[in-house]
Amino acid sequence: MNMPILPALLGTQPFSPPAGSDKVNLLLLHAFHAIASERNFARAAVVLRMSQPPLVRQIRELEELIGAPLIIRRGSAVLLTPAGEKLSYELSSLFVHARHSIAQVCNVNEMQSGEITLGLSATALVGSLPAQLQEIAASRPGLHFNYQELSPAEQTNALQSRKLDVGFWYLSGDTAPAKLSHQLVRREPLMLALPSNHPLAQHERVSLKQLAQAEFIQHRSNEAYSAGFLNTICMAQGFIPRVAHTVQSPLSALTLIGQGLGITLLPQSYQRLSTAGVTMLPLQETVNLQLHIVWPPHPSGTAAARWLRDELCEQPA
């Protein structure tokens, strides 16, 4: 019999591989894992799609190589010895990791080609996200992103009905629609957009408290910086915003601001747009929005989201 490795399995001494221990292969371990899970040779044989005699021989061979009994047969039932219990515990983690590794390899292969349908809110399209996604796609010539501009509500419906693989929109906190998973991609500060001839436009920074008497342009969008969020951050400064106009999109708000008809708060990414008559200034207060990647629970969406999340998080915000 080979030198026992039971003490190493039980963690009572450092592991020193005995002669012949390299013969303990995954086939033998898989057979034992089935026995440990089913606690019955007949059921384990069905799971492994083999007859019982060769399964019995595999367990005996494994016990011989390990140098300790792993099971005790009581009629049709199977009990585990202390060494068997320890090995069963270790194998559970081993096979979970193995399945995860195989899934990751399959996901990498799947993401080399094909089409991924992405939903982006209007604000996500304005930011640096499209350029980042294009850079990712360029590194995989067989991969194509299909972009769809949709509001968060539209994306939610499309994700749940599997018309989208992945969505992107801004959240003011850590809450997404039920039955959808999400993760932060990056944080982005809010800025003040105001007419270039406004008295505050000459300041380097503006406090929200200085906007108590200003006329706001409110967004109908249900994205993070819309009406509810505007009310929340203004009320935290002791005032309720005076809403003079309501628009459907941030670009419409910029048009009205350029005509001197009010002010609004927008994510920093809108600074890259050159709109006549509009100045954007940082706030003295730190108010961040969060760009999230959102995906449904079905496997294709999960794989695409996980891969994109890892790719995007490796790049600077």
The whole domain housing 177 covers 116-317
**Residues 234 and 98 both lie in one domain:** no
**Residues 127 and 97 both lie in one domain:** no
Asked if 35 contacts 44 with a C-beta cutoff of 8 angstroms, the reply is yes
Per-residue confidence (pLDDT) for residue 105, from 0 to 100: 61
**Within a domain: residue 313?**
yes
d(CA 187, CA 203): 24
**Within a domain: residue 1?**
no
Count Cβ atoms below 10 Å from residue 276 Cβ, excluding itself.
Answer: 9
Q: Which two tokens mark 248? A: 């459907």
Ranges of the chain whose pLDDT falls below 50: 1-15, 314-317
Per-residue confidence (pLDDT) for residue 13, from 0 to 100: 45
Which residue has tokens 């270790």?
A: 90
Domain closes at, from 57, 82, 109: 109
CATH number at 32 reads 1.10.10.10
Report how many domains make up the chain. Answer: 2
Q: Which two tokens mark 185? A: 């991609």
CATH number at 191 reads 3.40.190.290
Full-model pTM: 0.59
pLDDT digits (tens, 9 = 90+) for 101-145: 676 566 555 556 677 889 999 888 888 888 889 888 888 777 788
- DSSP per residue, 229-294: HHHHHHHTTT---EEEEEESSHHHHHHHHHTTS-BEEEEGGGGGS--TTEEEEEBSS--EEEEEEE
Per-residue confidence (pLDDT) for residue 182, from 0 to 100: 86
**Residues 198 and 229 both lie in one domain:** yes
**Residues 104 and 146 both lie in one domain:** no
**Residues 97 and 126 both lie in one domain:** no
Domain closes at, from 56, 83, 109: 109
Per-residue confidence (pLDDT) for residue 21, from 0 to 100: 56
Identify the bridge partners of residue 117 per DSSP, sorted by sequence position. Answer: 146
**Residues 70 and 86 both lie in one domain:** yes
**Within a domain: residue 125?**
yes
Exposed, middle or buried, 190 (CB in 10 Å: 0-12/13-18/19+)?
Answer: buried
Helices 41-48 and 26-38: angle between axes, nearest 10 degrees: 130
d(CA 93, CA 11): 16
Ramachandran sector of residue 67 (left: φ over 0; alpha: ψ -120 to 50; beta: rest): left
**Residues 96 and 152 both lie in one domain:** no
Domain closes at, from 84, 109, 134: 109
